[in-house]
Amino acid sequence: MRYVLASASPRRRELLGQILNNFEVIPATGEEKVNTSFFPEKVACALAESKCDEVFEKNPQATVIGCDTIVVFQDEILGKPKNREEAVKTLKALSGKTHFVITGVCVRNAYKKLVDFDKTEVKFNILSDEFILNYVNGGSPMDKAGSYGIQDGGVVKEYFGSYTNVVGLPVTLTKNLIDGVRINL
């Protein structure tokens, strides 16, 4: 079976490597359209499904894995920051507070398509202005929903749920979905 990850994220590639020994990376290129009238879990799943479907259309013999991670704080979806100022603003807002990270995962082949999500509660440390500026100047927040990576030291105080979900690919859920679309011949 040929497997394709529909994401350019090096973190997702590394995590999928814990499940599959061999897969290709073909990132989805379509514009992410978010319907904010949906519950956040549905938004994450719809974005993951859109990415998966886009890549599957050009690779119909493969099993395609698409995913999307969003951060939800005070009922607002926080995406990737557009610039440094937005990253600083987001980190200041999250400092010392709790939010949720939701990753939608879609796995599809010619026989079946499964979509689900994982949700993790995350509490931030209280971040000083100096820490935030150094962190943003280091560049880490710029390609991450919520402007941070859980794997970066000093940001997260504690979390409840899947660590790999917060990194961007919930490993247990993804493995279960891959197993769920396999056809036993």
Residues belonging to the active site: 68
The neighbour count for residue 178, using CB atoms within 10 Å, is 20
Measured between alpha carbons, how far is 44 from 101 in angstroms, rounded to an integer? Answer: 10
Spell out the alpha helix ranges (H) of 30-149.
40-58, 84-94, 129-137
Residue 34 burial (CB count, 10 A):
15
Query: In the beta sheet, which residues pair with residue 114?
Result: 107
Burial class (CB in 10 A: 0-12, 13-18, 19+), 42: middle
Distances (CA, A) of 34 to 15, 46, 70: 25, 8, 11
Return d(Cα 150, Cα 135) in angstroms, integer.
13
